[in-house]
């Protein structure tokens, strides 16, 4: 498998990924600048796909640009905006551009974002998307017809260790693993104990766990996320800590480092979600090393 | 039944510009139950149009406007009033509106929007449970349809937006997959969730649909 991320995880090395959103326009200058700042400190950079159903440049282009710069991308791909034809064409395009890692997602509902009147596609869901990619890796399309050149994607899936009720999500995690997911990238974690329980639960599936680490800036930001971002819940204790802090941004960074340090012993990597503060990534990584 | 809602008058009046005489058509079935085009609503529409300076040549409540032959026959029985009118204003689902359009050369004005195939909870309360997908999966999902009840039509379990068992799109709704899980657990057949459900065959949704029960 050409994915370096896959090789490192296979060698049980603790991986660190970060994420960047493509621009809301055609100018990639800032995206490239942030990529240059973050890349030397991480193993791969996730490129988000119309995150939160807000329109951005296609992750295919932004991820291909990272490849050209010698940076390993994880291209996030959702089922919200593409039917099975478009998903397969973008995947073949990604493979041709040297993109080797895919985070296969269902995607937030279109009404969560800035194009609420658009038509949501959801031809497939994340399990079926992973299954389809596995088929493409074996050289066939979703209908079983042979491809001229198979893909070699290292596929990740989303997981939410702190969601309630967790039991309802478990069968789907099993299906994602059976479909071909090789790592779970988790939703932001705050409770290391829950994360270690999660890791124990999914261990028999043989899927690596990369824990999501959210870098918060203020109590206000945490409350905004709780209100507006699906599937992301920041516990009241954390919001309170930020509210009481003299320097909330520094406190947010401290919280992120604390959780990330705990993850070193429980899972296989961390995924840093700096929420636009990408310049803090190097300091978190330094604290981890 | 087909749940529809009446368009607001300020959307209906512009469609009636260029003429003054209106014949109003309601429906005795679904549109009566959801109070879009029953006796009461047709009468109220008549009053409102008169207040807006229109002349109402007549009204009729057809028993099932979606029934094309019956709609044609009923309109012929009121031929004079229909002929006098500049517009036929129809307060029924889109199927009924098109039965009228097929039965008459007059300009047909839609006075309502068709919303969904609805179950009736109680009087005046409707819920969408089936989206007529043509590819029923209810045998595998404890009799609860994720294609309809989940806004994303998830086939393999809840999405990442589920929180405390509620839906990311509207947190006053339970996640379809939480209710499916609870039902299957209660019935001792959670193993129904163990294997990936095949992708949907959207060719079933290719329209327009036709069905003829005639043999041969």
Residue of B137, B153, B160 best to disrupt the A interface, most CBs of A under 10 A: B160
Is B129 part of any domain? no
Is B67 part of any domain? yes
B163-197 tens-digit pLDDT: 999 999 999 999 999 999 999 999 999 999 999 99
Out of B81, B115, B149, pick the residue that ends a domain. B115
CB contact under 8 A, A125 and B162: no
Out of B51, B81, B115, pick the residue that ends a domain. B115
Number of domains in chain B: 2
Residue of A107, A230, A273 best to disrupt the B interface, most CBs of B under 10 A: A230
A191-229 tens-digit pLDDT: 989 999 999 999 999 999 999 999 999 999 999 999 888
DSSP E strand boundaries for chain A: 15-20, 44-47, 73-78, 101-105, 154-159, 183-188, 208-214, 269-273
User: Sheet of B107-110: strands edge to edge?
Assistant: B55-62, B21-27, B87-91, B107-110
Is B130 part of any domain? no
Give contacts of B155 with chain A, Cβ < 8 Å.
Answer: 125, 127-128
Range of the domain at B104: 2-115
Give contacts of A231 with chain B, Cβ < 8 Å.
Answer: 159-163, 168
Pair B84, B166 in one domain: no
Pair B13, B94 in one domain: yes
**Residue A25 phi/psi, 5° resolution?**
160, -175
Pair B139, B108 in one domain: no
A25: tokens are 């326009």
Is B52 part of any domain? yes
Distance in angstroms (rounded) separating the CA atoms of residues B42 and A42: 68
Residue A106's nearest CA partner among A170, A182, A181, A158 is A158
Is B209 part of any domain? no
Distance in angstroms (rounded) separating the CA atoms of residues A239 and A231: 17
CB contact under 8 A, A127 and B196: yes
CB contact under 8 A, A112 and B151: no
Distance in angstroms (rounded) separating the CA atoms of residues B58 and B35: 20
Pair B16, B81 in one domain: yes
Give contacts of B151 with chain A, Cβ < 8 Å.
Answer: 109, 111, 120
Give contacts of A88 with chain B, Cβ < 8 Å.
Answer: none
Pair B55, B154 in one domain: no
Out of B115, B147, B178, pick the residue that ends a domain. B115
The predicted structure's pLDDT at residue B6: 98
Is B28 part of any domain? yes
Give contacts of B177 with chain A, Cβ < 8 Å.
Answer: 168
Pair B54, B145 in one domain: no
CB contact under 8 A, B199 and A178: no
Give contacts of A104 with chain B, Cβ < 8 Å.
Answer: none
Distance in angstroms (rounded) separating the CA atoms of residues B177 and A192: 27
What domains are there in chain A, each with its CATH number? 4-288 (3.20.20.220)
Pair B87, B23 in one domain: yes
Pair B49, B143 in one domain: no
Is B72 part of any domain? yes
Please enumerate residues of B whose Cβ is less than 8 A from a Cβ of A: 151-165, 168-169, 175, 177-178, 181, 190, 193-196, 198-200, 202
Is B127 part of any domain? no
In 10 A of CB A50, how many CB atoms?
23
Q: Which sign does the torsion angle of CA A25, A121, A136, A181 carry?
A: positive
Pair B139, B92 in one domain: no
Pair B166, B107 in one domain: no
CB contacts < 8 A (A, B) = 99
Pair B11, B65 in one domain: yes
- What lies within 8 Å, CB to CB, of A205 at 6+ separation is A173, A174, A177
* Per-residue tens of pLDDT for chain A, all 289 residues: 899 999 999 999 999 999 999 999 999 999 999 999 999 999 999 999 999 999 999 999 999 999 999 999 999 999 999 999 999 999 999 999 999 999 999 999 999 999 999 999 999 999 999 999 999 999 999 999 999 999 999 999 999 999 999 999 999 999 999 999 999 999 999 998 999 999 999 999 999 999 999 999 999 999 999 988 877 889 999 999 999 999 999 999 999 999 999 999 999 999 999 988 888 999 999 999 8
Pair B6, B107 in one domain: yes
A270: tokens are 């961390």
Distance in angstroms (rounded) separating the CA atoms of residues A218 and A233: 15
């Amino acid at each position: 498998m050409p994915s370096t991320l896959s090789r490192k995880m296979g060698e049980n090395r603790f991986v660190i990924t970060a994420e960047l959103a493509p621009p809301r326009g055609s100018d990639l200058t800032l995206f490239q600048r942030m990529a240059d700042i973050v890349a030397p400190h991480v193993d791969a950079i996730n490129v988000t796909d119309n995150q939160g159903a807000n329109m951005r440049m296609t992750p295919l282009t932004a991820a291909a640009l990272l490849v050209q710069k010698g940076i390993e991308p994880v291209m996030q791909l959702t089922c919200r905006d593409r039917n099975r034809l478009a998903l397969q064409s973008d995947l073949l395009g990604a493979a041709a551009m040297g993109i080797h890692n895919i985070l296969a997602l269902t995607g937030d509902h279109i009404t969560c974002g800035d194009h609420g009147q658009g038509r949501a596609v959801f031809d497939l869901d994340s399990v079926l998307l992973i299954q389809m990619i596995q088929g493409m890796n074996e050289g066939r399309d979703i209908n079983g017809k042979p491809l001229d050149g198979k893909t070699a994607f290292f596929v990740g899936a989303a997981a939410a260790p702190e969601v309630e009720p967790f039991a309802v999500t478990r069968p789907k995690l099993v299906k994602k693993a059976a479909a071909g997911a090789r790592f779970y990238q988790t939703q932001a974690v705050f409770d290391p104990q829950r994360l270690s329980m999660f890791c124990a639960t999914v261990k028999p599936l043989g899927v690596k766990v990369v824990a999501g680490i959210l870098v918060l800036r203020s109590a206000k930001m945490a409350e905004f996320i709780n209100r507006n971002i699906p599937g992301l819940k920041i516990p009241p204790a954390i919001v309170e800590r930020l509210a009481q802090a003299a320097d909330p941004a520094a406190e947010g960074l401290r919280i992120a480092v604390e959780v990330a340090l705990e993850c070193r012993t429980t899972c296989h990597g961390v995924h840093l979600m700096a929420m636009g503060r990408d310049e803090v990534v190097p300091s978190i990584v330094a604290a981890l090393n | 039944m087909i749940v529809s809602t009446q368009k607001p008058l300020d959307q209906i009046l512009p469609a009636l510009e260029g003429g003054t005489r209106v014949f109003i058509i309601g429906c005795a079935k679904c549109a009566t139950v959801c109070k879009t085009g029953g006796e009461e609503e047709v009468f109220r529409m008549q009053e409102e149009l008169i207040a807006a300076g229109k002349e109402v040549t007549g009204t009729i409540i057809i028993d099932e406007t979606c029934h094309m032959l019956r709609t044609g026959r009923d309109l012929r029985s009121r031929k004079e009033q229909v002929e006098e009118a500049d517009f036929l204003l129809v307060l029924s689902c889109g199927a009924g509106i098109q039965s009228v359009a097929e039965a008459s050369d007059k300009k047909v004005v839609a006075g309502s929007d068709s919303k969904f195939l609805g179950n009736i909870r109680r009087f005046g309360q409707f819920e969408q449970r089936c989206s007529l997908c043509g590819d029923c999966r209810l045998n595998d999902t404890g009799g609860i349809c994720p294609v309809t009840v989940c806004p994303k039509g998830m086939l393999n379990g809840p999405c990442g937006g589920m929180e405390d068992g509620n839906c990311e799109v509207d947190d006053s709704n339970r996640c379809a997959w939480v209710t499916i899980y609870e039902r299957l657990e209660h019935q001792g057949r959670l193993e129904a969730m163990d294997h990936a459900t095949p992708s949907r065959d959207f060719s079933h949704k290719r329209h327009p649909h036709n069905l003829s029960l005639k043999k041969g």
